Chains A and B, each alone.
Chain A
């Protein structure tokens, strides 16, 4: 990224915002599209045992190249009906609590965890607040730091702030080439700092939310290539490329001792913004 990116001509297309559009593309493979192609079977497990099941965050057991693993993923919907059912991939506290429940099961039975991030953010609504959205996210951040089983995180589409991070603490963090990961949506950032949501492209550039930016800043371990025209053009190929990276990542982290995984995870976070 060039340093003068922020002072570019406004009319010139801004690459970061093009990535934002690709990450949100309605034909982009969602978590279930990947799960179908990556795992030989997937048994969905539902409910947080406290309040409800959250369809915006799906969990289950699956087999990855012969190995039994737990899967945690945000799920967006493709048509209007599905979108509403999945709440546009915006989980409520029960989603995060279900995710933690399944991750702790994985810890109990010593199975690796794969998480897939694709959410605009945690749901900002009355019911979510009443049931402790902030607490649910915070709890996951703390408890995921305690887990000793391998955790492989992949940002497949939109990494929307705390709602993404709440399933994003891991030993190996992958990010698809056109995925984004940000503290706030470019539109939200533009509305606050520029007082004009139309400046989203500028904001997208300034926020450094692309896979390249995050890799350079040390928040992502590996960028997963997408089919040349983008994952939305060829889900099978996108999944094949992701499978390779996941396989490498898992092979690397299973070699570390449980204690080593935990301390490496800590040291990696510790180095960010020191």
Chain B
């Protein structure tokens, strides 16, 4: 005989697989300090951990929205995408890898280029996205960057690149390598035209991207702790057969060695860029001297040249619309 009898129904047990706290997507764990971060709060702090200042990697579109006035910009050359010039196949055919990358990222390529205003200054920005095949630079990336430089030359705008890349894209062989030369040659023209180029380095920036435009900025900025180098740490470790110190090739290391100008918190990036542009965009250089106009029947010698393809499209690829 039992002394006590349960009158009420016991609480219905929940099957183990359903026993979850519904916070998924609301909290994010910081990679660096393990703090649980409220997602909305993290978004407001531009994906920087409010506790330890860890800078999460962010995508190209977020980057553009963060830099442009009111987050407004016009995407350029979304139709420039990589073909398969070498018919490259490793364990998978290259076109298949490209298609996969497009599907998983919603991006047409490893870079988004755009036109807009930064602090009121006409500015062309190319923002790379590491999630698209490691931000690797193939022909399409090279072409898109070259085109924004040429557009800046035509319209006397400023150029900003935001790098996030493992380097040149192997699947396009030496053609990827030549993009380094192509972009650098375009930057030589920009330099001679006394137009500003700001290079922003984010985690990670290595290989052929570092060894070309990323290191050619009139001013070079970097996000805290970003890995920046020519050879990747693993390659160096294999060469010298020893472990590398933890801070080696980090942004702070580079600034110490005189390789870049400022390590800047993402939340202060836009303000700093505007300050720099204000110095670098000199209105005295803005318009070509009048005598050139007169000798040229009033036509602006720096005006658009007909042989430059004006293929910018306001139409974004359908995939990218799904993503955003």
CB distance from A199 to the nearest CB of B (A): 8
Decide if A214 touches B230 in the complex (CB within 8 Å). Answer: no
Decide if B214 touches A138 in the complex (CB within 8 Å). Answer: yes
Q: Which of B28-36, B205-213, B286-294 contacts A (4 or more CB under 8 A)?
A: B205-213
Does B100 reach chain A (CB closer than 8 Å)?
no
Does A124 reach chain B (CB closer than 8 Å)?
yes
Which residue of chain B lies nearest to A195 when distances are taken between CB atoms in the complex? Answer: B91
Complex: A208 Cα to B176 Cα, angstroms:
12
Decide if B180 touches A134 in the complex (CB within 8 Å). Answer: no
Contacts of B192 in A (CB 8 A): 146
Contacts of A133 in B (CB 8 A): 211, 230-231
Known contacts A165-B180, A206-B88; A214/B236 CB under 8 A: no
In the complex, which of the residues A130, A162, A265 contacts B177, with contact meaning CB atoms closer than 8 Å?
A: A162
Does B90 reach chain A (CB closer than 8 Å)?
yes
B-facing mask of A134-168, CB < 8 A → 1, else 0? 11011101110110000000000001011001101
- Secondary structure of the B contact surface, majority rule: helix
Which residue of chain A lies nearest to B147 when distances are taken between CB atoms in the complex? Answer: A274
Known contacts A129-B230, A141-B180, A161-B177; A134/B211 CB under 8 A: yes
Does A250 reach chain B (CB closer than 8 Å)?
no
Complex: A183 Cα to B172 Cα, angstroms:
9
In the complex, which of the residues B170, B174, B240 contacts A181, with contact meaning CB atoms closer than 8 Å?
A: B174
Complex: A7 Cα to B93 Cα, angstroms:
11
Number of interface residues of A (CB under 8 A): 57
Does A184 reach chain B (CB closer than 8 Å)?
yes
Per the 8 Å Cβ criterion, residues 172-203 of A in contact with B are 181-184, 188-189, 192-194, 202-203
Known contacts A145-B185, A182-B174, A273-B143; A129/B90 CB under 8 A: no
A-facing mask of B255-290, CB < 8 A → 1, else 0? 001110000000000000000000000000000000
Decide if B168 touches A139 in the complex (CB within 8 Å). Answer: no
Decide if A207 touches B86 in the complex (CB within 8 Å). Answer: yes
Does B146 reach chain A (CB closer than 8 Å)?
yes
Which residue of chain A lies nearest to B88 when distances are taken between CB atoms in the complex? Answer: A206
Does B303 reach chain A (CB closer than 8 Å)?
no
CB distance from A78 to the nearest CB of B (A): 21
| Interface residues of A, Cβ cutoff 8 Å to B | 3, 6-7, 122-126, 128-135, 137-139, 141-143, 145-146, 159, 161-162, 165-166, 168-169, 181-184, 188-189, 192-194, 202-203, 206-209, 213-214, 217, 219, 265-266, 269-270, 272-274
8 A-B residue pairs with Cβ-Cβ distance under 8 Å, sorted by A, are: A7-B89, A125-B236, A184-B168, A193-B90, A207-B86, A217-B174, A272-B182, A273-B142
